Amino acid sequence: MKTYDLHTHSTASDGLLDPTTLLERAGARKVDVMALTDHDSVGGIAEARKAAALAGVHLVAGVEISVSWQGQLIHIVGLNIDDSHPELLQGLESLRNRRDDRAVRMALKLEKIGIPSPLQGAQRYQTTDILSRSHFARYLVEIGKADTFDAAFKQFLNPGTPGHVSMEWATVAEAVTWIKDAGGKAVVAHPGRYRMSEVELHRFLNDFIDAGGYGIEVVCSNLDPVQIDRFARVARTYGLRASKGSDFHSPSSRRELGRLAPLPQDLTPVWQDQHW
Ligand SMILES: [Zn+2]
Ligand SMILES: [Zn+2]
C-alpha cells in the first residue's frame, strides 16, 4: 500500500518550506506520492519535480484555486495538471492580479483612517509575489495599531471593519475548467472547513459536478472520524472520487506530511486507474 499525501504547500504560496526541503521531508517520512498544491500558483512545481526524483517520491503537479461561491471562499484542488498549460496559467495570473488590486484598495482605506504607508508596510513582510491580508496584519501589529495578529484582522481587515475589501475569486466553473483543460482532476479541498448547511452543500456540489468536478477530500488532517464518515457518505451519494491530503504548511503545525487515516475501503480513490 502506497502512502499518499495529495495536498501540501511550499514557499511558492504560504508554506514555510521551499519545494526542495518539502520533498526531502516527504521522502524521509516515506510518502510515496505527494501533490504540491500551492494557492493560485504553480511556481514551485519545476523545483519540486527535480527534488522529487532525488527523494524517491512521485510528484503529482497540483494547485489550490481560490473560488467564490455565493459569497463564500472555497478551495478547489487541481491534481495532475500540466503546469505549463496557457489557460491555467492565465487564470491563476488573473487571480493574483485581483489580489494585488485588493491590496491597493485595502491600503487606500487604511490610509483614510490614519494608518501610515500601509502598502509599503505590508510589502516589507511579503516573501513571494502574493501580497495577502496576513502581511497587512503583521504591519499593523508592528506599528502598534493592533496588539496581536488576530486582533489586526478583527479591528481592521475582516468584513465590517474599516480596511475590509470584498474579493471576487474565480467561479466554480472557471476553476474546474482551468484544471480540466490542463488535463487535471478537480477536487473539493477540506470540505469540513466551510460553513454550509446541508442544502447549501448540496447546491454547491451540484454546481461543482455540473462544471466537471471529479473528487472530494474525505481524509484531511482537520477531519475527525465523524467528519470522515460524513464526507465518505457525500462521496458515495454524489459519485465523487475520494482524496486525502494533510494541507501541510510548516513543520511546527500539527499537520504532518503523509500522516493520514486510510480512506474508507469502499470508496474509489482519485488515484485509481492513474499511474500515481
Ligand atoms: Zn485550502
Ligand atoms: Zn491548502
Instruction: Give residue for cell 485581483.
Output: 98
Residue pLDDT, tens place only, 229-243: 999 999 999 999 999
For ligand 2, the distance from its centroid to the CA atom of residue 111, given in whole angstroms, is: 31
For ligand 2, the distance from its centroid to the CA atom of residue 198, given in whole angstroms, is: 23
Task: Report which bound ligand comes closest to the CA of 190.
Answer: 1
For ligand 2, the distance from its centroid to the CA atom of residue 117, given in whole angstroms, is: 31
Q: In this model, does residue 127 exceed pLDDT 80?
A: no
For ligand 1, the distance from its centroid to the CA atom of residue 142, given in whole angstroms, is: 27
Task: Report which bound ligand comes closest to the CA of 245.
Answer: 2
pLDDT at 209: 98
- CA 229 to mean position of chain CA atoms: 23
pTM: 0.89
Instruction: Report yes or no: 213 and 239 within 8 Å, Cβ to Cβ.
Output: no
* Lowest mean per-residue pLDDT among 30-34, 74-78, 193-197, 266-270: 193-197
Residues lying with their CB under 5 A of ligand 1, a single-atom ion: 75, 189
In whole numbers, what is the pLDDT of the chain averaged over residues? 95
Average of pLDDT values for 151-161? 94
- CA 162 to mean position of chain CA atoms: 27
Confidence tier at 179 by pLDDT (50, 70, 90): very high
Task: Report which bound ligand comes closest to the CA of 75.
Answer: 1
CATH fit for domain 92-157, picks 1.10.150.650, 2.70.150.10, 1.20.1440.230, 3.40.630.40: 1.10.150.650
For ligand 1, the distance from its centroid to the CA atom of residue 189, given in whole angstroms, is: 6
Q: Which residues contact 119 (CB under 8 A, 6 or more apart)?
A: 103, 104, 107
Same fold, 4-85+171-245 and 92-157: no
For ligand 2, the distance from its centroid to the CA atom of residue 40, given in whole angstroms, is: 10
Task: Report which bound ligand comes closest to the CA of 189.
Answer: 1
Instruction: Give residue for cell 471576487.
Output: 168
Q: Which residues contact 139 (CB under 8 A, 6 or more apart)?
A: 118, 121, 122, 124, 125
Do β-strands 72-79 and 58-69 pair in parallel, antiparallel, or remain unpaired?
antiparallel
Task: Report which bound ligand comes closest to the CA of 192.
Answer: 1
Distance of alpha carbon 6 from alpha carbon 273, whole angstroms: 16
pLDDT at 57: 98
For ligand 2, the distance from its centroid to the CA atom of residue 244, given in whole angstroms, is: 12
Q: Classify the C-alpha dihedral 109-110-112-116 as positive or negative.
A: negative
Q: Which residues contact 14 (CB under 8 A, 6 or more apart)?
A: 39, 130, 132, 134, 249
Residue pLDDT, tens place only, 49-104: 999 999 999 999 999 999 999 989 999 999 999 999 999 999 999 998 998 899 99
pLDDT at 8: 97
Distance of alpha carbon 78 from alpha carbon 65, whole angstroms: 8
Task: Report which bound ligand comes closest to the CA of 246.
Answer: 2
For ligand 2, the distance from its centroid to the CA atom of residue 257, given in whole angstroms, is: 12
For ligand 2, the distance from its centroid to the CA atom of residue 7, given in whole angstroms, is: 6
Calculate what percentage of the chain has a pLDDT beyond 90. Answer: 86
pLDDT at 186: 98
Average of pLDDT values for 146-173? 94
Distance of alpha carbon 107 from alpha carbon 102, whole angstroms: 8
Q: In this model, does residue 222 exceed pLDDT 70?
A: no
Calculate what percentage of the chain has a pLDDT beyond 70. Answer: 100
Residues facing residue 64 across a β-bridge: 39, 77
Task: Report which bound ligand comes closest to the CA of 249.
Answer: 2
Q: Where are the domains of the chain?
A: 4-85+171-245, 92-157
| CATH code of the domain made up of 4-85+171-245 | 3.20.20.140
Distance of alpha carbon 22 from alpha carbon 30, whole angstroms: 12
Task: List helix spans (H) across the chain.
Answer: 19-28, 45-55, 86-112, 118-123, 133-142, 149-152, 172-181, 198-210, 225-238
Q: In this model, does residue 129 exceed pLDDT 80?
A: no
Average of pLDDT values for 128-154? 91
Using the 8-state DSSP alphabet, how is residue 211 labeled? T
Task: Report which bound ligand comes closest to the CA of 9.
Answer: 2
